[in-house]
A = this chain, B = another copy of it.
Amino acid sequence: MKFNYQIILSFLGLLLVLNGAFMLLSLPFSFYYEEQSWVGILISGLITITVGVVARLSTRKNKNKDIKKREGYLIVTLGWLCMALFGALPYVLSGSIPGFTNAFFETMSGYTTTGATIIIDIEAMPKGLLFWRSLTHWIGGMGIIVLTVAILPLLGIGGMQLFVAEAPGPTHDKLHPRITETAKRLWLIYVILTVAELVLLMLAGMNFFDAINHAMATMATGGFSTKNLSVAYYNDSPVIQYIIVFFMFLAGTNFTLTYFGFKGKFSKIINNEEFKTYLFLVLLLSVITSIVIFVNTDNSLEKAFRDGIFQVVSIVTTTGFVTADYTGWAEFTTILFFILFFTGASAGSTSGGIKIVRLLILVKNSILEIKRQIHPSAVIPVRFNKRAVSQSISYNISAFILIYIIIFFLGSLVMSLAGLDFNSSLGAVAATLGNIGPGIGSVGPVNNFAHISLFGQWFLSFLMLLGRLELFTVLILFSPYFWSKS
């Protein structure tokens, strides 16, 4: 098959134009806070827009053609990569993050809504660039919504076709025009929730700048904060922390379900197995963690509960905000949170990780396997939301989880070569592949990624992209099948 590289280039051009325009949104903050860094931001925006416009103009003859499936894979991966390459410019050209590797890591961490940072003194950064940093989260979150709800199901990635009630069937080879429709609806919810959180945070006493940054980072399940202490800065404002918990939980919920909620169709939410499991998991683990905190520290019951629910929701949703060091309470919680690095929240949300629905289907299959062994002649399919899960989806999910684990193990080996110890290697890989942010060990919740070698930063950036794009979207590009003519 021949690829239509023109259409790919045209699409990347469009992304760059939008990306450049977004950069310019940081300028008002630079001006307001009278920072010199506005020059770097402006130049970055103009460069990005110019490159985008040139790419668009050079390919304008092809722009009305349909995008084929294989081109779809290329556009998604190259798109994210282009965004991160150009998105790093404001940091570099303003001099606020001097090295390109560091800047690229920070940007990839932003767009993939990971939240791992190499910045040691966040509060010393120019406000304009802090805004840009949170904005990369928010843009990444928008990308994820359209990706998981509309594009990945069409590309047949990781059984995603199953998870989204509203998505068109997986058999179409051409990207459906309905994408735009679905995406617009869900973006509207995304914007409404972000604004709602912003307003509530301000009512709870946060200033506008911190509120907009935290709201964007929450809804993207990103985790970049404007404070060195992350959300622990607001330990004296329980209301602020509970507001963030609430919106993190929403950001980890399938946006299609939230859409049904807005339309008043609550039965769709109540009957969704993934949502019920997500809610149950969060409540159960919050209670367990709170008890562990209460027993092992001299915190009040309220503070123990708040830290417990905050950290459980923050890690399950892969946000990565921190109110307390979960590796400092007990070995039990260190291991518990390490396990939660893998789960993730709902499919169709902005969260990363394996996703609850995949685990749910595999756990169900495993339990049924016991039944199948007792009745070997009976055909016993896995059911999800009252429908039988097809064999091809089961295969797909099982392959996804195995590849996830293999990448985790091999990645940990690579990071040990980059100089990390046992805990930190496992933690850094699980936290970047799952788009969490903070890990354990030397990249734990009270540390950062600044000490990672340049090689290590490139490698972890790659893992963030791999995890964010549900593995297959990227891996498929490395397969000979993809490039073969048949």
Q: List 11 A-B contacts (CB under 8 A).
A: A70-B374, A170-B376, A335-B412, A335-B426, A339-B409, A365-B399, A367-B479, A371-B479, A374-B479, A376-B392, A398-B398
Q: Give which listed residue, B171, B369, B409, B412, contacts A399 with CB less than 8 A.
A: B369
Distance in Å: Cβ of A154 to nearest Cβ of chain B: 11
What residues of chain B lie closer than 8 Å to A394, measured between beta carbons?
395, 398
Closest 9 CB pairs of A and B: A369-B399, A366-B399, A398-B398, A331-B416, A332-B416, A371-B481, A370-B479, A339-B409, A362-B402
* Cα(A401)–Cα(B331), bound, Å: 25
Distance in Å: Cβ of A390 to nearest Cβ of chain B: 11
Interface presence of A440 (CB below 8 A): yes
**Would you call B373 and A425 a contact (CB within 8 A)?**
no
Distance in Å: Cβ of A311 to nearest Cβ of chain B: 16
Q: Give which listed residue, B69, B336, B391, B422, contacts A335 with CB less than 8 A.
A: B422
Q: Give which listed residue, B373, B412, B423, B481, contacts A156 with CB less than 8 A.
A: B373
Shortest Cβ distance from A405 into B: residue? B405
**Would you call B406 and A392 a contact (CB within 8 A)?**
no
Q: A335-B422, A402-B366, A425-B335 are in contact. Are A330 and B391 (CB under 8 A)?
A: no
**Would you call A372 and B392 a contact (CB within 8 A)?**
yes
Shortest Cβ distance from A369 into B: residue? B399
**Would you call B423 and A423 a contact (CB within 8 A)?**
yes
Interface presence of A472 (CB below 8 A): yes
What residues of chain B lie closer than 8 Å to A476, measured between beta carbons?
370, 373-374
* Cα(A345)–Cα(B417), bound, Å: 26
Distance in Å: Cβ of A132 to nearest Cβ of chain B: 35
What residues of chain B lie closer than 8 Å to A396, measured between beta carbons?
369, 372-373
Residues from 385 to 417 in A contacting B, C-beta threshold 8 Å: 391-392, 394-396, 398-403, 405-406, 409, 412-413, 416-417
Interface presence of A482 (CB below 8 A): yes
Shortest Cβ distance from A404 into B: residue? B366
Interface presence of A421 (CB below 8 A): yes
Interface presence of A433 (CB below 8 A): no
**Would you call A374 and B335 a contact (CB within 8 A)?**
no
**Would you call A372 and B401 a contact (CB within 8 A)?**
no
What residues of chain B lie closer than 8 Å to A372, measured between beta carbons?
392, 395-396
Interface presence of A291 (CB below 8 A): no
Shortest Cβ distance from A413 into B: residue? B335
Produce 1/0 per residue, A327-343, CB < 8 A to B. 00011101110110000
* Cα(A338)–Cα(B423), bound, Å: 12
* Cα(A440)–Cα(B426), bound, Å: 14
Interface presence of A120 (CB below 8 A): no
Interface presence of A431 (CB below 8 A): no
Interface presence of A420 (CB below 8 A): yes
What residues of chain B lie closer than 8 Å to A423, measured between beta carbons?
422-423
Q: Give which listed residue, B170, B171, B339, B420, contacts A331 with CB less than 8 A.
A: B420
Distance in Å: Cβ of A377 to nearest Cβ of chain B: 8
Interface presence of A475 (CB below 8 A): yes
Q: A374-B70, A476-B370, A481-B370 are in contact. Are A398 and B365 (CB under 8 A)?
A: yes
* Cα(A426)–Cα(B398), bound, Å: 23
Q: Give which listed residue, B69, B332, B366, B398, contacts A362 with CB less than 8 A.
A: B398
Interface presence of A155 (CB below 8 A): yes
